[in-house]
Amino acid sequence: MREPDFLSRRRWLSTAAASLGAAALPAFAQRRSTRIVVPFAPGGGNDVLARQMAYGLNDSLGYGMIVENKAGAGGNLGTEMVVRAPADGSIFLLGHTGTVSINPSLYPGLKFNASTDLQPVAMFASSALLLVVPAASPARNVAQLAELLRRRSGELNYASSGSGTGGHLTGEMFAHALGAKAIHVPYKGTAPSLTDLVGGNVDFSFGVIPAAMALVKAGKLRALAVTGAKRQPQLPDVPTVAESGVPALADFESSLTYGVLAPKGTTQETVATLGRDILKVAASGSFQSRLEVEGAVPLLGDSRQYAARIRQESSKWAAVIKASGATA
């Protein structure tokens, strides 16, 4: 039995609309599963930012991007997975300073180098860390902590969420700048590191802003400074480390850069198209509101600018690791 003409027209219009929608997407985004790999467990800052970016690409631009977590070895497992993947536009990496610029120097036995074996697509955010001490600490500002660290060099310890993290290397850079030694105590995540800090089992920490600030507001920790070049919009009354008045820390700056990278050999068309769309999402008010919740700020740059940033950060952290003797 022949279907009525209006049903035929409706089916034709529906098919045509779907075809036009698919055609509007770049070729690599028309495949069934385009993945962005997060080399850490679900729930952390990297994971949240990746999911917000994927949501923006999917919701406003029609991508079919999914997020896949591949945790392990300080982010190296997931990173290597993308390094070894086909350069066909089906897989990308949520990169940040730790996995891209720190790990190649911190893990000398790696069979790959994320800073050179991946193709930068775009960078979209940066985050500083928060220097915190227990509420009962005698150090009420950076200068007092610096004096305490110098006087008791090799005795004070600091917590981080794990070896090779931004908190670990920032602590090494801080102590080295002061000509002192501090004992690094790595934990399996942010929560246990800050819990021990609250309990007074460690002396200070460079923690991620949202988690550390919640304990500051609860009166359990004291915030001394942020590690970025500028004060954080979320914490306008908290000075930077460089503002402490300690000459040795006048140029101190530590921040983490977030971006997206692709396997080496990915076509320039794919890189340019995805990079443009990432920056479009990152410039939106809704995405930037989410950044603020995560203690981050916008840092927008295309493939070329992200590559320059990676080279700069790789050189900086390699020097810190060599000078401090830091290991994973």
Calpha distance 50→54 (Å, rounded): 6
pTM of the model: 0.86
| Single-letter amino acid, residue 60 | S
Calpha distance 51→290 (Å, rounded): 11
Q: Tell me the pLDDT tens digit for each residue of 98-108.
A: 999 999 999 98
CB of 210 within 8 A of CB of 294? yes
- Residue indicated by tokens 């800050």: 194
Residue 2 has pLDDT above 80, yes or no: no
pLDDT of residue 12: 47
Average pLDDT over residues 112-137: 97
**CA-closest candidate to residue 256, choices 93, 78, 121, 129:** 129
Calpha distance 84→286 (Å, rounded): 34
Secondary structure (3-state) at 246: coil
pLDDT band of 194, cuts 50, 70, 90: very high
Q: Tell me the pLDDT tens digit for each residue of 219-258.
A: 999 999 999 999 998 899 999 999 999 999 999 999 999 9
Lowest mean pLDDT of 15-24, 256-265, 283-292, name the range.
15-24
Residue 10 has pLDDT above 50, yes or no: no
Q: Which residues contact 211 (CB under 8 A, 6 or more apart)?
A: 190, 191, 194
Q: Tell me the pLDDT tens digit for each residue of 62-97.
A: 999 999 999 988 899 999 999 999 999 999 999 999
pLDDT band of 133, cuts 50, 70, 90: very high
pLDDT band of 160, cuts 50, 70, 90: very high
Q: What is the mean pLDDT of the chain?
A: 91
> What percent of the chain is modeled with pLDDT above 70?
90
Identify the bridge partners of residue 258 per DSSP, sorted by sequence position.
96, 125
Average pLDDT over residues 300-307: 98
**CA-closest candidate to residue 256, choices 88, 66, 9, 46:** 46
Average pLDDT over residues 202-230: 96
> What percent of the chain is modeled with pLDDT above 90?
81
> At how many degrees (to 10) do helices 268-282 and 285-293 cross?
80
What is the residue-wise DSSP string for 40-102?
S-TTSHHHHHHHHHHHHHHHHH---EEEEE---GGGHHHHHHHHTS-SSSSEEEEEEHIIIII
pLDDT band of 17, cuts 50, 70, 90: very low
SS (H, E, C) 297-326: EEEEECHHHHHHHHHHHHHHHHHHHHHHCC
